[in-house]
Structure 1
């Protein structure tokens, strides 16, 4: 068995991405919203069409094929299937943090892969731990290991199945904002530690062909670690889990207000802002949120729904997942 735990903290403490005018040339790069909600279980009936939301998850595709997953919360597996994605095509999975609504469907994906033709190894990148929560390697061992909750899947960690999962723990201490960088089959991938209460958390940035996608994950951004990280993003997916008027002191330590999201997007010259991780408290104030953001941000913005597909090059919505699947 190869070593499964690799802790990486590469980069500079002061981040800077070039804001020089760039052109996204990857016309075939898009993002599918597999989950646009949070941990709540509900149906939003106030919308013209009632909306239910899976928990946070996003699929990056190239030429219509799955490349990366960012988070995989409750309900995401069903939308992964609806999108026509194949487990065999995934080049990596990136986890922002280990809250249930960001990773709950991962064991189901691993089980489903038993019935796939995948034979090449899969790296799962996630945060380091702290006294309150395990790191990514410990988490997956407790979940899938030989003594884990789903021990019958342990072969995917030991290499006894048709492929092996490699957990990679990325430094997630927001007090030490070191950028992690790696290259995966032509894609440049970066991560930075963010503040999300007691949980170590990461934001992720994926680039190819001048195209730049940033996923905020859940964060208050109180330490301003995202300020440089979002620079010149073609698509910035930001989590809108608290309204501007929130008086919930706990929630405000965990999530950004709309005004903070707008400041980030405008300062970073973001082209397209996509608000996701909507909850009861933000679902019903979208008009107010839009006014607040548009007062500061002059780029394009939209609210995410499950199965929306967004072109990275144009920032426009291309349709719904599964549109390309023929009967």
Structure 2
């Protein structure tokens, strides 16, 4: 049987567990090519909390005019993918954190350490949830990482301005509000947020808008996120990014994550033009056909299963 060169290359990447290239149809796509689009989503880390395949922890970049402007989450391994994608710390407008599970923020210290070598001088917004009795606020998380008493206290100038490092503008977002809140309005980029339900974890979803295009990052949430559904209803995002963490089997943690049926219902309510599934866990990937069938009960638009460094241009 004859095998094409490109098919052989794709098979080799799968065998080796490498993600230095993503694929689109039969074409091998270089990860840095995402920057060539006027507006694009690039999934840096498409995995979950278990290191059972090649995937980095949850992380996404919004590319605007060739620059990595918005980073949503920074899971373990995303630091490597950030470099592979050709992103630059000095180009970031904002880092948005959906919640403080380790698979979403475990790569942030490495990224900040790398940023200390950059030539950035502008303030950098880092926005995320406020705290609770069991979870820190965004400002407390950053203090634990790079504060004067933090684990990486040599990076404390990020917060106190005592040396030649860019300052971080850290914002705690109230998670008791189930309606859209403005986060950023500058340089042609609008960012809004809305609280979501992820058991007891303070958690957020984000909307990024640019030149009439809209990207909706649902974050980790359960079917109990009714405020999110109402706040995003008929918003018609060009891309809606949702997690694929649980199967359709009985006994799944549906108070923590949406299953396929609930994902489809949320995508239909939002009027999503395309649904991108990421944050994959093996239990969901093993049940892919059932998950897709459940999504299709409500949502009929295109669905993409993301890999690390997958690129989704917004036309």
| TM category, shorter | 0.7 to 0.9
Q: Which residue in the other structure is 1:20 paired with?
A: none
- After the TM superposition, which of the residue ranges 96-105 and 152-161 deviates more from structure 2? 152-161
Matched, 1:139 2:109: no
Which aligned runs of 4 or more in structure 1 are off by greater than 3 angstroms? none
Matched, 1:256 2:266: no
Matches within 5 A, 1:185-224: 185-224=187-226
Q: Which residue in the other structure is 1:165 paired with?
A: 168
Change (3 A) 1:235 1:151: same
- Look up the SS of the partner of 1:310 in the other structure: strand
Q: Which residue in the other structure is 2:180 paired with?
A: 179
Aligned mates of 2:132, 2:165 — CA distance in 1:
32
Q: Which residue in the other structure is 1:113 paired with?
A: 115
Q: Which residue in the other structure is 2:125 paired with?
A: 123
Q: Which residue in the other structure is 2:10 paired with?
A: none
Describe the superposition over 1:190-223 as per-residue Cα deviations: whole angstroms up to 9, x where unpaired: 0001111111000000011110100011010303
Q: Deviation of residue 225 (structure 1)?
A: 2.0
- After the TM superposition, which of the residue ranges 149-158 and 218-227 deviates more from structure 2? 218-227
- Look up the SS of the partner of 2:87 in the other structure: coil
Q: Is the 8 A contact 1:126 1:169 kept in 2?
A: yes
Q: Deviation of residue 246 (structure 1)?
A: 3.8
Q: Is the 8 A contact 1:91 1:184 kept in 2?
A: no
Aligned mates of 2:270, 2:115 — CA distance in 1:
38
Q: Is the 8 A contact 1:196 1:218 kept in 2?
A: yes
Q: Deviation of residue 57 (structure 1)?
A: 0.3
Matched, 1:60 2:62: yes
Q: Deviation of residue 30 (structure 1)?
A: 0.2
- After the TM superposition, which of the residue ranges 302-311 and 239-248 deviates more from structure 2? 239-248
Aligned mates of 2:190, 2:151 — CA distance in 1:
34
Q: Which residue in the other structure is 1:33 paired with?
A: 43
Q: TM-score, normalised by structure 2?
A: 0.84
Aligned mates of 1:290, 1:252 — CA distance in 2:
17
Matched, 1:242 2:234: no
- Structure scoring higher RCO (CA < 8 A, sep ≥ 6) equals 1
Q: Whose helix proportion is higher, 1 or 2?
A: 2
- Look up the SS of the partner of 1:254 in the other structure: coil
Unpaired runs of 5+ residues, structure 1, are: 1-26, 44-51, 314-327
Unpaired runs of 5+ residues, structure 2, are: 1-36
Q: Which residue in the other structure is 1:277 paired with?
A: 279
Q: Is the 8 A contact 2:179 2:227 kept in 1?
A: no
Change (3 A) 1:304 1:246: farther
Aligned mates of 1:98, 1:150 — CA distance in 2:
18
Aligned residues, how many? 275
Aligned mates of 2:288, 2:50 — CA distance in 1:
17
Aligned mates of 1:256, 1:56 — CA distance in 2:
16
- Look up the SS of the partner of 1:196 in the other structure: coil
Once superposed, what is the RMSD of the aligned Cα atoms?
1.3
Q: Which residue in the other structure is 1:11 paired with?
A: none
Q: Is the 8 A contact 2:259 2:291 kept in 1?
A: no
Describe the superposition over 1:250-276 as per-residue Cα deviations: whole angstroms up to 9, x where unpaired: x21110011011011112211000111
- Look up the SS of the partner of 1:199 in the other structure: coil
Aligned mates of 2:142, 2:298 — CA distance in 1:
41
